[in-house]
Each structure stands twice: as structure tokens, then as C-alpha cells.
Chains A and B, each alone.
Chain A
Amino acid sequence: MTETKINLKTGLAEMLKRGVIMDVVTPEQAKIAEDAGAVAVMALEKVPSDIRKDGGVARMSNPEMIQKIMEVSSIPVMAKCRIGHFVEAQVLQEIGVDYIDESEVLTPADNAHHINKHDFKIPFVCGATNLGEALRRIGEGAALIRTKGEPGTGNIVEAVKHMRSINQEIKRIASLETDELMAEAKVLGAPYSLLKVIKETGKLPVPNFAAGGVSTPADAALVMQLGAETVFVGSGIFKSENPEAFAKAIVKAVAHYDDPKEVLEASKNLPSPMKGIEIPTLSPAEKMADRGW
């Protein structure tokens, strides 16, 4: 039974592959995203760059606002809950969203534990910065992993770091002997059973998407070429000078991420992307990627 549930959960992520998932804060934005060719929308009250700017505790969005976005959308709707806040997740399941993001973009509700995601019928996506973290989340029941990147910065450097780190560690695990896996499980803080799967298959047992800092068509194609199977774009679209143009261009670039001619075409005639932030200017407390255990 558990396996069936996992198949249905990862199954939806399979359908979202080679696509763009866009953060939206209003039904109007959801419509723009869908018309531009988004495969799903993430309904939230503020995009990450505004969460950064405004400060304070960031929580699950107002349910009515999520429901309004669901009403106008024919594509899947995702929503975020705080790390460890299983009651927010219960509420999102009750609303009937298609995917829950247990997200570091919101203020964590538990500083030691994540949600036991096996308890839910709705699939979860979780962020990760390295393989150990990804496998802990999958062990807890996540059906989809994404890089954390550094949300709301418009800076792709952290997403690249996380994607490379996960890929390098997968290759290393695949090259180990079986009798070396338990010691590795101890070092990574990852379930032994999942390390065995990595050794056998050479990949994560769930789809692997990228998020955090994507703001141009070339950024999106970059993380795709590095191995992401779909791209989340948060502030990058609706904080750019022309959201509609950026949404369309990023969708176009992802469909042909491995063809520089098409990425060039997608990059032409775009106004300025979101301004962006240099990572070293962030104080440790401002780094969202460090949230999660």
C-alpha cells in the first residue's frame, strides 16, 4: 500500500518534468503563469524576495487566497507550509492542493524535526543542499526533491552549488562497495536503505528539480543542463520588469534547455530581470538555505 501511494505521489512529479513551476500571489498572476505555459503554480502570499524585505514570521498562506488560485487554475496548484508544521500541512491537505512544499522560505516551526510525510495522501516536495539532506527528506516521505538555492536573491550560485553537490555525492556513492555503505550512512546522516538504492540505480529514488535564484532563461537552462528535471521560479518572474515576457521566455528555454540556439532566441528582447542580491551580503540569519535539519 505504501508503495502504491509513493508511486502516485512521484507520478505527479513525473508529469511535471521538463517544465516551469511559478510562484504566484494572486489569481491574476496564476492566469498569466498558466497562459505562459507553466506546468504548475505555487500559491503563496508573498514571493521570497518580499518575505526577505518585510521580515517577521512567514507562515502558510491564507486558505481563501489559495482556494481562489485553485479556482482559476487548470494546472496543479502547490502551496507551502513551515518546516515541521504538520498542522499547516493537514490544513493544506484539507483544502485539496496538489502538492505541499515543506519550505525553508517560511519560518521553521520545529527546529529539530521535519513532518512525517508518509502520514499524508498529498505528495510533498522538500528542499535539499546535499545528498544526506535529500535522503533524510525522502526517508520522511518526500516524493520530490528540489535544490534550496538561496530563495528571493535572483542569484543562481547557491542552486548550482546544491545541484553539483548532490550529483557529485550520488556518483561517489555509486562507486562505493556495498560494505562501505553503512559507514557512509553514518557520515551523511542518511538512511542505509536509500544509499543502497543510490548505489544500485545511480540516481535519487524520486525526481530532482531545481529552485532558488532562477531569474533568466539562461539560469533555467543552466540548472537543467546540470541535471534538474524541472525548474521552480519564485521571485524571478513577478519581480522582473515584465512578468509575462519572462514567464514565456523561461518556459521556452526549459523546453530546449540543451539547444543554445533556442536559449538565445528565448533570451532576446527581454527587459531587466529582478535586481538580485550578492550572497556574501546576507547575514547568517538571512540565509534561508540553512533552515532544515
Chain B
Amino acid sequence: MKPFTIGILALQGCIDPHRPHVEALDIKFKEVKTAKHLEEVDAYILPGGESTTMLRLIKIFGLKEILAMEFAKKPVWGICAGAILMASKVTNPKQESFSLLDFEIERNSYGGQLQSTEIDIKDYPVSFIRAPIINKVSDDIEVVSKYKNTPVWLKTPQYMVTTFHPELTKTYPSQMHKEFGELIAAYYEKG
């Protein structure tokens, strides 16, 4: 069988650290910046970075519609800023999103860099960096894990959301990349 390809939205943010995690799963890793790059991509990672910058670039390069069409039919994993792009409602401040999943998210709500922290989730060290907080989650979404009583990892058969970063940890692949790989395989197996 042809290996899957994960396209990472590479307009801005934390891109390269994902490569060894993805390649350790025998999945191809591809940077996506233009409509042409979307060909042959089976699933997407929306990386950490600044969500305001990503939104602005998506808009000026005219990618919003085509990305929305792709995200509707393929698996997507949003991390931190990427999670913000997937939410149905964004606060602090209010901003646009692709609204892929029914949950509400508040930007930078732990505070600034002084509140950035590292914890273990499923025995894998991950970091929260100026992370957003998920406030409300629709009942049909699985909450995989919580931190300080709020959801930090969400899953459905098509989508995954984490407000923390597993990609900065240098043990490959991370538990979260592994589970996203499994999600992709199951999604296409079901057809």
C-alpha cells in the first residue's frame, strides 16, 4: 500500500520539529503553502505558531476556501494555534476560524510565557506554550485528556485537537503523532 502523506500548513510557525515524528511512523511529510501543494495530501497538521498571522496569510494568499474544502473531507490535527483555527468559537480576542469541530477556545488564557509549563500526558512529556484553554466541548467529541480540569486533547474519527505541543520532545514518534497516524489509517479503512 502507498504510504500516507501528511501535509503541514507551513505558512508560519513550528514546522520542522514534526518531521522526525511523522517519518518515524513511515508517513510522508510535506509542507503545504499553496493550493498546488494540496495535491496528494491524505491528512493535515495545523501547527503551533501565531493564529492571527496564519489567518492573515490564509486570507491574503486566497487559501481559505480550498483549505476549508480539504479539511472537510480529510483528517486534521490542530495544535495550539492550529487548535484555535479548528474551533467553532474563539475568544480573547474574538477571531475567525474554520469551525471544524464544535468547541470553544480562549486564546492565551493561562497567561504569557511565564505560565508556560511542561507535563506528562500518557507518559509522554509535552509542553504548553502560551496555550489556549478549551472551555466548552460538544457531547459527541471525545475528551482524551484534561489538565487543570479543562480538556487539552480532543478526538473524533476525523479530527484531533491538542492545546499542548508533543513535537518539541525528542523521542520519536510521540504518543500523539502515533495516535494521529492510527486515526488516519482507521479513517481511510472505513472509506
Contacts and interface: CB of A to CB of B under 8 A. Distances in A.
Interface in A16-43: 16-19, 34-40
B11 A255 contact: yes
A76 B48 CA distance: 13
Nearest to B59: A37
Contacts of A99: 113
Interface string B46-63: 001110110011001100
Counting chain A CB atoms within 10 Å of each CB, the highest count among B48, B111, B169 belongs to B48
Interface in B1-31: 10-17
A40 B112 CA distance: 12
Given A97-B112, A252-B60, A18 B15 contact: yes
Interface string B96-118: 00000000000110011110111
Given A7-B168, A15-B14, A123 B113 contact: yes
Contacts of B114: 93, 96, 121-122
Contact of B33 (A7, A70, A255): A255
Contact of B50 (A10, A16, A122): A16
Given A75-B50, A255-B11, A255-B33, A11 B168 contact: yes
8 contacts: A7-B118, A11-B168, A15-B80, A16-B49, A98-B130, A99-B113, A123-B113, A255-B11
- Chain B interface main SS type: loop
B165 interface: yes
Interface residues of A, number: 37
A27 to B, nearest CB: 14
B191 interface: no
Interface of B: 10-17, 33, 48-50, 52-53, 56-57, 60-61, 80-81, 92-93, 107-108, 111-114, 116-118, 127, 129-130, 165, 168-169
Contact of A38 (B15, B53, B113): B53
B130 A76 contact: yes
B118 A8 contact: yes
A18 B112 CA distance: 21
Interface in A63-95: 70, 74-77, 93
B108 A74 contact: yes
Contacts of B15: 17-18
Counting chain B CB atoms within 10 Å of each CB, the highest count among A37, A99, A122, A251 belongs to A37
A222 interface: no
A62 interface: no
Contacts of A2: none
A228 to B, nearest CB: 14
Contacts of A74: 52, 92-93, 107-108
A17 B15 CA distance: 8
B48 A15 contact: yes
Given A17-B12, A19-B50, A251 B57 contact: yes
A154 B16 CA distance: 31
A283 interface: no
Nearest to A258: B33
